[in-house]
Amino acid sequence: MIIKPNSWHIIKEHIQMTINLDASQCPLCQQDNRCDVASAQGCWCSVEKVPNALIQQVPDDKKGLSCICQTCIKKFNLTQEDNFIAL
C-alpha cells in the first residue's frame, strides 16, 4: 500500500471507524491527546520525538492507533532525567 503525504488523517479515521477507537484519546492515560493531524497546518504529533521505551508501554492492541499525549511524553522524559546522576 502506498500512503500519500498528508493522508494520515484518512487512515486514522478509517482505523477509528473500524475498531471504534477514539483516536483523540492518549492510549496511556485516556485523556485528550490534542492531535490535530488533519488540520492544514499539521500537528505537534508529527514533529514530537516519542521515546521508544514509552511507545513500548502502550498496550499491543492500541499501538499505532492514536497519539500519546504531550503530558505523558513530558512525564516520561522527566522520569528518565531523574534517573541520571550528575557527576
17 pLDDT tier (thresholds 50, 70, 90):
very low
71 pLDDT tier (thresholds 50, 70, 90):
very high
- Check residue 23 and give its pLDDT: 85
Of residues 87 and 56, more confidently modeled = 56
DSSP string of the chain? -PPPTT-HHHHHHHHHHHHT--TTB-TTT-SB----TTSTT--GGGT----HHHHTTS-GGGTTTSPPPHHHHHHHHHHHHHT----
Give the rounded percent of residues in the chain with a pLDDT score beyond 90.
34
Q: Are 16 and 67 in contact (CB under 8 A)?
A: no
What pTM was estimated for this model as a whole? 0.66
